[in-house]
Structure 1
Amino acid sequence: MAEVILHSQTENDMQLPHLKLNHVSSLVMLRAASLVGFIQWAASGMERWVEVRRDQRILLSMNDQQLKDIGISRGEAERAIRSGR
């Protein structure tokens, strides 16, 4: 019959799984925070893109006299939108 030797756990052995779990959960939380940050960054970029497209449609729908009244030419409309002039 094979003899089974049971390893007695020391105090350090019992803490090791807990440390590993904390490390893994910290990594998961860090990844989740990174993902949330990325989603917020992407959403703000999309929001800016939507604003630029809306402003572009408004300006390009104006006639040359209306654009002149606000101080830009048709050719300057794109730059004015992007730079916030």
Structure 2
Amino acid sequence: MLSYALRLSGRYDGMVIATIPDVPEARAIGRDDQEACEQALCALEAVLETYQAEGRAFPEPRATGSLTVTTTKYVTLAEA
């Protein structure tokens, strides 16, 4: 299981931006916090898929926060 800190911030138009500090390529937007978090998981998995295809190591989860996004899709690769 890979868990990364998740940061949410509001935009001027009411949308919510979700970013993952340890995986800066993974960004998402939603109409509310829940949708932004769901989209962040999709973004994280897409970025990790790209890392895997390119043979890159997954980033170490270093940032902390009260919100996290967790994927189990790549758990065996992360443990290798």
The structure carrying a bigger helix percent of its residues is 1
**How does the TM-score come out when normalised to structure 2?**
0.32
- From the CA coordinates, give the structure whose radius of gyration is larger: 1
Higher relative contact order (CA 8 A, sep 6+): 2
**How does the TM-score come out when normalised to structure 1?**
0.30
